[in-house]
């Protein structure tokens, strides 16, 4: 999002990528997730409280907005040491709004990699307000990171910054610029994508009454709401997990997939790939292909259950489930995969444990969206009613 090329986890060369990954790994370990659980609960409690107020008012609610506010507040806290205050204000922080605008510009900025000559033209046509806002965003990240660094009382709170500061001052420790850029990247990668999946699984469930009834019944077998706050409870809900996997297939948060660069001549699917070529798997194309999945355009969580995997008579027996890799694979896969699953399970389970939901008429075709590097999500308008 900012900083010199190669100073973040996505664009770093192999040596620096390994260094960044090593610095962040403790935050995403099992112990790290356990330390972060209380932080997650704080924001999930706020979300449920705000949604209860809306349900009592009987007004429709935009679930996209409330999922965004929740995940940005949470990841902002874990990365910067303070939330964006969205759940309190019911509004997007300007820093978050800037990210949404930036996403729409990225595909055009990528043109400069293939055609460097167009960079001056791109810079000329970008609105001056956008460039000024982006500078303000970078400055906010810098100031907030340094505020966290100066707060000695915050050391040991188990957040991302704790992990990145572990080797500060040592040979392989992260510089101030690397801290700023990677904290910003973690917020961007860990907030919008999680909120997108939550929006997608909510939409598909509300469009699939039988699946909604099954997953709601499964979640409501949990005796108390407090138990839903425990990872070892929500990860034991097989039908909910199947719903999440099916939503990841139909609505992958990163539809185009991350790029890699071929470093030596190679062959991919019979094509000769010269060194330096950027390659990627377009996730939507792979996940929606009948080559890989039976009835690929339909939301059918059952394809992920053991019966479909083990029964040769199942129409989903031959589904190529390993094709689904929304967090990528290999040494550069998404470091936040386990945290994302933990958030998604807890938030979805808490919402369905508390509310009966209905999709408003204006959102019936919600899935028809444009993509940039992410989905351009319209409001997902729903009616909420406290469970009876």
Tell me if 223 sits within 8 A of 339, measured CB to CB.
no
Distances (CA, A) of 258 to 83, 106, 124, 266, 324: 28, 13, 28, 19, 14
Distances (CA, A) of 170 to 4, 9, 21, 264, 366: 21, 19, 16, 34, 50
Tell me if 384 sits within 8 A of 48, measured CB to CB.
no
CB atoms within 10 A of CB 90: 12
Which residues are CB-neighbours of 384 under 8 A, at least 6 positions away? Answer: 51, 54, 55, 61, 355, 356, 357
Give the SS3 label for residue 307.
helix
Summary count for the chain: helices (H), strands (E): 18, 7
Report the distance separating Cα 271 and Cα 223, nearest Å.
55
382 labelled as ligand-binding? Answer: no
CB atoms within 10 A of CB 193: 21
Residues at the annotated binding site? 334
Residues at the annotated binding site for heme? 334
């Amino acid at each position: 999002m900012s900083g010199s090329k190669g100073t973040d986890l996505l664009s770093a060369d192999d040596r620096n990528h390994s260094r960044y990954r090593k610095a962040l790994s403790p935050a995403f370990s099992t112990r790290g997730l356990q330390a972060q659980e209380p932080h997650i609960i704080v924001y999930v409690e706020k979300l449920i409280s705000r949604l209860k107020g809306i349900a009592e008012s009987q007004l429709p609610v935009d679930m996209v907005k409330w999922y965004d506010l929740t995940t940005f507040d949470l990841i902002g806290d874990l990365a910067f040491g303070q939330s964006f205050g969205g759940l309190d204000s019911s509004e997007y922080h300007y820093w978050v709004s800037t990210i949404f605008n930036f996403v729409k510009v990225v595909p055009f900025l990528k043109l400069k990699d293939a055609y460097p000559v167009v960079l001056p033209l791109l810079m000329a046509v970008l609105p001056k307000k956008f460039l000024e806002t982006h500078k303000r965003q970078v400055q906010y990240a810098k100031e907030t990171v340094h505020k966290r660094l100066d707060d000695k009382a915050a050391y040991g709170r188990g957040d991302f910054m704790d992990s990145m500061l572990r080797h500060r001052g040592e040979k392989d420790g992260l510089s101030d610029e690397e801290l700023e850029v990677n904290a910003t990247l973690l917020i961007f990668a860990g907030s919008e994508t999680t909120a997108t999946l939550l929006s997608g699984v909510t939409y598909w469930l509300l469009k699939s009454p039988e699946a909604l009834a099954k997953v709601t019944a499964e979640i409501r077998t949990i005796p108390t709401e407090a138990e839903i706050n425990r990872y070892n409870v929500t990860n034991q809900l097989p039908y909910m997990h199947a719903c999440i996997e099916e939503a990841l297939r139909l609505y992958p948060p990163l539809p185009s997939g991350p790029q890699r660069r071929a470093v030596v001549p190679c062959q991919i699917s019979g094509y000769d790939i010269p060194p330096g070529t950027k390659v990627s798997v377009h996730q939507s194309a792979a996940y929606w292909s009948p080559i890989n999945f039976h009835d690929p355009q339909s939301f059918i969580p059952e394809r992920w259950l053991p019966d479909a995997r083990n029964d040769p008579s199942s129409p989903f027996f031959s589904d190529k489930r390993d094709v689904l890799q929304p967090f990528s694979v290999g040494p550069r896969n998404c470091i936040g995969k386990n945290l994302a699953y933990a958030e998604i399970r807890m938030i979805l389970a808490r919402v369905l444990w508390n509310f009966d939901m209905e999709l408003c008429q204006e959102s019936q075709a919600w899935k028809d969206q444009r993509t940039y590097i992410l989905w351009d999500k319209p409001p997902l308008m729903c009616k909420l009613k406290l469970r009876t």
